Copies of this chain bind each other. A is one copy, B any other.
Amino acid sequence: MTRQQLISEIRRKHTFLCVGLDTDMRKIPQHLLSEDDPVFAFNRAIIDATAPYCIAYKPNVAFYECGGLGGWKSLERTIEYLRTQYPSHMIIADAKRGDIGNTSAMYARCFFDELQVDALTVAPYMGSDSVSPFLGREGKWVILLALTSNPGSHDFQLTTGTDGMPLFERVMRKAQEWASEDELMYVVGATQGEMFKEIRRIAPRHFLLVPGVGAQGGSLEEVCRYGMTSECGLIVNSSRAIIYASQGTDFAQVAAEKAREVQQQMEQLL
Chain A interface (Cβ < 8 Å from any Cβ of B): 22, 24, 60, 62-63, 65-66, 68-69, 72-73, 76, 96-101, 103-104, 106-107, 109-110, 114-115, 123-131, 145, 148-157, 159-162, 167, 170-171, 174, 211, 216
In the complex, are the beta carbons of A129 and B107 less than 8 A apart?
Answer: no
By a CB distance below 8 angstroms, the chain B residues around A73 are 69
In the complex, are the beta carbons of B100 and A125 less than 8 A apart?
Answer: no
In the complex, are the beta carbons of A150 and B101 less than 8 A apart?
Answer: yes
Interchain CB contact (< 8 A) of A97 among B68, B96, B124? B96
Bound-state Cα–Cα, A149 to B130, Å:
11
In the complex, are the beta carbons of A156 and B152 less than 8 A apart?
Answer: no
By a CB distance below 8 angstroms, the chain B residues around A115 are 68
In the complex, are the beta carbons of B151 and A62 less than 8 A apart?
Answer: no
Interchain CB contact (< 8 A) of A159 among B68, B114, B145, B167? B167
In the complex, are the beta carbons of B129 and A150 less than 8 A apart?
Answer: yes
Bound-state Cα–Cα, A211 to B102, Å:
14
By a CB distance below 8 angstroms, the chain B residues around A126 are 96, 123, 145, 148, 150, 152-153, 157
In the complex, are the beta carbons of A114 and B68 less than 8 A apart?
Answer: yes
By a CB distance below 8 angstroms, the chain B residues around A69 are 69, 72-73, 76
Interchain CB contact (< 8 A) of A63 among B22, B106, B124, B161? B106
Given A96-B98, A100-B216, A124-B156, 18 more pairs with CB closer than 8 A? A22-B103, A62-B107, A62-B110, A63-B106, A65-B107, A66-B110, A66-B114, A68-B72, A69-B76, A96-B123, A98-B123, A123-B125, A126-B150, A126-B153, A126-B157, A129-B151, A129-B152, A130-B152
What residue in chain B is nearest A111 (Cβ atoms)? B65
By a CB distance below 8 angstroms, the chain B residues around A76 are 68-69
What residue in chain B is nearest A65 (Cβ atoms)? B110
By a CB distance below 8 angstroms, the chain B residues around A98 are 96, 123
What residue in chain B is nearest A162 (Cβ atoms)? B160
* 3 closest cross-chain pairs (CB), A and B: A127-B152, A127-B155, A128-B152
Bound-state Cα–Cα, A128 to B69, Å:
29
26 contacts between A and B (CB under 8 A): A24-B106, A60-B99, A62-B103, A62-B104, A62-B107, A62-B110, A63-B103, A65-B107, A68-B76, A68-B115, A69-B73, A96-B97, A96-B98, A98-B123, A100-B149, A100-B150, A101-B151, A124-B125, A126-B145, A126-B153, A126-B157, A156-B167, A156-B170, A160-B162, A161-B161, A162-B162
Bound-state Cα–Cα, A124 to B156, Å:
8
Closest CB of chain B to A79's CB: distance in Å? Answer: 11
